[in-house]
């Protein structure tokens, strides 16, 4: 068990996304001397539905850089120039190399969106929902070269309700992150926080996801398909399947534990709502359905597919 050093509290913050915004705001609220912010330029090809770290830094007159490579010589020199006691990473999208991790006198620390050692790696919220987890959370840990593997300082859990989307859970994590930092950073800067090594063999590692990973396999259970739909619902790319030369997107779902009305997987309209029967004899409600990129209601669906769309043999390959 190791202890954080009580060296100077000056910090460099690598941050992006809403978690980056809220964590940077929290450090500033705590009086941390943030000497440099490193963030990303927003991509024109990405839907930007989250807040701007740069805007927070600008409001607080903190210098900002947006390097293409966080580990470049120029970035290393800029970080070293401000002589930080700490480096923090809050949803920054690049791995920080050993040369960078060696610069801060008291170490580099990352806030990860899971209860480590579970769901190390990329998009942990989406993966946790896909696997039907009942809770997740945020973890503050010391950074090392191996991703999300350094010793743990603190965690805070949040529940995942059975109809929460990834967006819903992400909102919970923003609050959990703020609370965790408010509780941990003051003691951390005074050298009063213990670090506990992670037992990586008790956890899991997951890679990133692509839009194609949202393809629905109708051989799966109602709960498994519902979990996929809510894990990738907007603002993420969405779950989908192809049938009869049409692309069908399921962008919202709700499950109540009801039995299916028919034998075999199918989508149909009941009482003005879309229902999806699944191969396990259960069903879920479809709250947002698109055909070929256009949101449709019951009449539009029935004009294309009739009263019931049979899905036997529609797999995820």
Domain ranges (residues) in the chain: 2-206, 211-310
| Cα atoms found within 13 Å of the Cα of residue 9, Cβ hemisphere only | 13
207-226 burial: b if 16+ Cβ within 10 Å, else e: eebeeebbebebbbebbbbb
- C-alpha 129/C-alpha 152 separation (Å) is 23
H or E element that contains 299: helix 298-305
Residues 62/37, Cβ–Cβ less than 8 Å? yes
- C-alpha 186/C-alpha 180 separation (Å) is 11
Helix, strand and coil content of the chain, in percent to the nearest 5, comes to: 30, 30, 45
Tens-level pLDDT at each residue, the chain (317 residues): 334 433 456 999 999 999 999 999 999 999 999 999 999 998 877 778 889 999 999 999 999 999 999 999 999 999 999 999 999 999 999 999 999 999 999 999 999 999 999 999 999 999 999 999 999 999 999 999 998 889 999 999 999 999 999 999 999 999 999 999 999 999 998 888 899 999 988 889 999 999 999 999 999 999 999 999 999 999 999 999 999 999 999 999 999 999 999 999 999 999 999 999 999 999 999 999 999 999 999 999 999 999 999 998 787 66
Residues 40/20, Cβ–Cβ less than 8 Å? no
pLDDT at residue number 8: 52
Residues 6+ apart with CB under 8 A from 81: none
Q: Can you tell me whether residue 311 is helix, strand or coil?
A: coil
- C-alpha 281/C-alpha 64 separation (Å) is 55
* Beta strands 86-90; 120-121: pairing state: unpaired
Residues 6+ apart with CB under 8 A from 77: none
pLDDT at residue number 160: 98
- C-alpha 256/C-alpha 313 separation (Å) is 25
Q: Does 211-310 carry CATH code 3.40.50.2000? A: no
Q: Can you tell me whether residue 56 is helix, strand or coil?
A: helix
Q: Does 2-206 carry CATH code 3.40.50.12160? A: no
């Amino acid at each position: 068990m190791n202890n954080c050093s009580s060296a100077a509290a000056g910090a460099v913050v690598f941050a992006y996304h809403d978690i980056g915004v809220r964590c940077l705001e929290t450090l500033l609220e705590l009086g941390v001397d943030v000497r440099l912010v490193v963030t990303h330029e927003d991509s024109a090809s990405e839907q930007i539905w989250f807040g701007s770290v740069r805007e927070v830094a600008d409001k607080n007159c903190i210098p900002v850089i947006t390097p293409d490579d966080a580990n470049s010589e120029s970035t290393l020199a800029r970080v070293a120039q401000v002589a930080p006691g700490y480096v923090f990473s809050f949803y920054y999208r690049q791995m920080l190399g050993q040369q960078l991790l060696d610069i801060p006198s008291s170490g580099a620390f990352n806030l990860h969106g899971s209860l480590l050692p579970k769901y190390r790696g990329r998009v942990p919220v989406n993966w946790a929902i896909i696997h039907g987890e009942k809770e997740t959370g945020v973890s503050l840990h010391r950074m090392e070269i191996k991703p999300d593997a350094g010793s743990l300082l603190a965690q805070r859990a949040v529940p995942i309700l059975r109809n929460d989307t990834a967006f819903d859970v992400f909102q919970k994590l923003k609050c959990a992150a703020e609370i965790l930092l408010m509780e941990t950073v003051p003691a951390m800067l005074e050298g009063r926080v213990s670090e506990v090594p992670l037992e990586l063999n008790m956890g899991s590692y997951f890679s990133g996801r692509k839009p194609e990973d949202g393809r629905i396999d109708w051989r799966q259970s109602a709960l498994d398909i519902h979990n996929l739909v809510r894990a990738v619902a907007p603002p993420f790319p969405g779950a989908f399947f192809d049938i009869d030369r049409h692309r069908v997107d399921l962008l919202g779902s709700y499950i109540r534990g009801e039995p299916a009305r028919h034998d075999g997987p199918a989508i149909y309209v009941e009482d003005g709502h879309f229902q999806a029967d699944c191969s396990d004899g259960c069903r879920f409600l479809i709250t947002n359905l698109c055909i070929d990129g256009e949101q449709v209601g019951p009449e539009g669906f029935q004009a294309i597919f009739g009263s019931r769309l049979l899905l036997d043999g529609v797999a995820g390959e």
